[in-house]
Amino acid sequence: MKGKTLIFALLLMTSATAAFAVDGDVKKNEETSKIEKVLSRLTVGGYGEAVYSYNMYSDNYLRYRSPESYKDDNGHGRFDLPHVVVMLGYDFGKGWTMGMEIEFEHGGTESAIEIEENEGGEYESEIERGGEVALEQFWIQKSFVPQFNVRVGHMVIPLGGTNMHHLPTEFFGVYRPERENTIVPCTWHETGISLWGRAGDWRYEAMLVPGLDSDRFGRTGWIHDGAGSPYEFKIGNAVAGVARIDNYSIPGLRLSLSGYVGNSFSNSLLRATSEAYKDVKGTVSLGSFDFCYDAHNVIVRGSATYGHLTDSDVITKWNKGRREDSPSPKQDVASDAYAIGIEAGYDIFSQIRKLRDKQQKLYVFARYDSYDSMYKTEAGVMKYEWCGRQRVAAGINYYPLKDVVIKGEYSIGLMKSPYNNEPAISVGIAYAGFFK
C-alpha cells in the first residue's frame, strides 16, 4: 500500500511539473509575440555625413575688410561631421503615428568658439540653441484619409528644396546647397500644427508655427539664425504661416511652390515698449520655387527663393543698440535677399551592364549657386558687397549601395571685386536610410 501511495505521489509531481512547464512556455510565447508586435510597428533609421575640405584661401577674420592683405595667404583644412541623425517612428494603430529625429550637429553639442570679427578678433563662445543635442523633429499625427492628415509637434518647415529634401542622398555636393542654406534656416524646424495630404498628382501642406526672432538677424545669413533660440524655450509672441504645394503630373518630375509669412520684431525676449516702435512689425515674406527631375539616368534639381523684410532699418538700429551680453549679432540687416541655383548629374554606370546589374551608380555632376544676403538695403543700412556671390562646383557621387554615397567635388566661390575668390576641394561619405 505504501509503495502504491509513493508511486501515485510521484505521478502527481511529474504532472504538475509538466503543467508548469507548458504554462511557462505559453507565457514566454505570449511575451515574445507582444515584443514582435511592438517591433513590427517601430521604424528606425537615420542619416549621417563625415567630410573633409581643403579651402584654398585665407580664413583670417579680416579677409573681407582688407582683401588685398590676404590674397596670398595659405589655405586651411577642416574635418567635420555636419549632421548625424537618428530617426524613430511608431505606428500606434487606428491612424495614430509618431515621428522623431535627434540630431548631433558638428559632432555633438550646439555651442562653439568662433573668432568674432566685430570684437577685434577675440575668441567668443556662441550658443545656437539651449541643450547639447537638437531635437529636429518630434510629432504625433492622426491620419484620416490620404488626402487629410493632422500633425502636431516639432516639424521641418517645408520651404524650398533643401528643407524638404535635406538628406545627404538627396543632393550632389559634399555639403548642402549654399544658396538656401545661407539666407534661410536650414534645416528649419519649428513647433506647431500641420495639415497635409495627397490627392492624385498633388500634395499640399499648411502650417502654423512661431515667428522668427529679429534680434538674431544678421548680414551674412539674413534671417537664417532667427529660427534658433538661446533659451530653453522658443518665443511665441508672433505666429507665422507656411504653405507648400507639390505636383507630380509628369513622370519623374516634381514641381513645387512654397511660401512663408510672419512678423519677427515682437518675437524677442526683450520687447520694445517705446511708442516709437508700436507700428514696427518686421514682417518676413518668403517665396520659393523648386523642382527635381529624376529619370533616364539623369537627375536635375533647382530652386529659386526670394525674401523681403519690412522695417529692416529699424531692426538694424535696434539690434546694434542691444547690450553687449545680448545674443544678437548686432549687425546690419538687409530688406531683401535671394538665392537661386541648379545642379545636374548623369549616371555613367548606367552604360556599364555589369555595374548597372549590381545597382551601383556613379553620377558626374555640376552645380551653380548665386545668392546675396544683402541684395537690397534701406537707407542707413550698410551694404556689404562680399555677402553676395556666385559658386560653381563639379564632382562625383558614387553609390556602392542605394543608401550609401561617397562624394568628391571641386568648388569655387566667385566674389565681387575687390574680394578674393574662394576655391576648395571637399570629400565625404554619407548614408541615409531605414534599418527597420
Share of the chain above pLDDT 90, in %: 73
Q: Which residues of 359-396 are buried (b: 16+ CB within 10 A; e: fewer)?
A: ebbbbebebbbbbbbbbebbeebeebebbbbbbebbbb
CA 362 from chain centre, in angstroms, equals 25
Terminal CA-CA length for the chain: 64
Residue 252: pLDDT over 60:
yes
Compute the distance between CA of residue 209 and CA of residue 76 in angstroms, rounded to an integer: 40
Q: By three-state DSSP, how is residue 391 classified?
A: strand
pLDDT digits (tens, 9 = 90+) for 32-58: 777 777 778 999 999 999 999 999 999
Per the prediction, the chain carries an average pLDDT of 89
Q: Kindly give the pairing relationship between strand 404-415 and strand 422-434.
A: antiparallel
pLDDT of amino acid 187: 87
Cell numbers 504653405 correspond to: 243
pLDDT of amino acid 33: 73
Residue 78: pLDDT over 80:
yes
pLDDT digits (tens, 9 = 90+) for 64-74: 999 999 998 99
pLDDT of amino acid 131: 39
Average pLDDT over residues 377-381: 94
76 pLDDT tier (thresholds 50, 70, 90): very high
Residue type, 237: N
Indicate the range of 102-106, 186-190, 312-316, 330-334 predicted with least confidence: 102-106
In contact, 77 and 52? CB cutoff 8 Å: yes
Which domains can be identified in the chain, with CATH numbers? 43-434 (2.40.160.10)
Cell of 386: 562680399
Torsion of CA 305, 310, 311, 315, to 10 degrees: -40
Residue 289: pLDDT over 50:
yes
Q: Which residues pair with 69 in a beta bridge?
A: none
pLDDT digits (tens, 9 = 90+) for 176-229: 999 998 999 988 999 999 999 999 999 999 999 999 999 999 999 999 999 988
Residue 122: pLDDT over 50:
yes
DSSP string, 294-357: EETTEEEEEEEEEEEETTHHHHHHHHHTS-TTSSS------SEEEEEEEEEEEEGGGG-HHHHH
In contact, 155 and 139? CB cutoff 8 Å: yes
Report phi then psi at 238, rounded to 5.
Answer: -130, 145
Compute the distance between CA of residue 114 and CA of residue 112 in angstroms, rounded to an integer: 6
pLDDT of amino acid 54: 97
Average pLDDT over residues 164-182: 93
Residue 313: pLDDT over 50:
yes
In contact, 161 and 292? CB cutoff 8 Å: yes
Residue 239: pLDDT over 70:
yes
What ranges make up the beta strands (E) of 56-186? Answer: 76-80, 83-93, 96-105, 111-116, 122-127, 134-145, 148-156
Cell numbers 555640376 correspond to: 366
Residue 130: pLDDT over 50:
no
Average pLDDT over residues 319-333: 89
269 pLDDT tier (thresholds 50, 70, 90): confident
Residue 3: pLDDT over 70:
no
pLDDT of amino acid 149: 98
Whole-prediction pTM value? Answer: 0.85
Residue 14: pLDDT over 60:
no
Which distant-in-sequence residues (6+ apart) come within 8 Å of 363 by Cβ? 172, 299, 345, 346, 347, 348, 396, 397, 398, 399
pLDDT of amino acid 262: 97
pLDDT of amino acid 18: 55
Find which of 114-123, 133-142, 360-369 is predicted with most confidence, using mean pLDDT. 360-369
Indicate the range of 230-244, 378-392, 393-407 predicted with least confidence: 230-244
Compute the distance between CA of residue 179 and CA of residue 369 in angstroms, rounded to an integer: 6
Indicate the range of 37-41, 155-159, 167-171 predicted with least confidence: 37-41
CA 64 from chain centre, in angstroms, equals 28
135 pLDDT tier (thresholds 50, 70, 90): confident
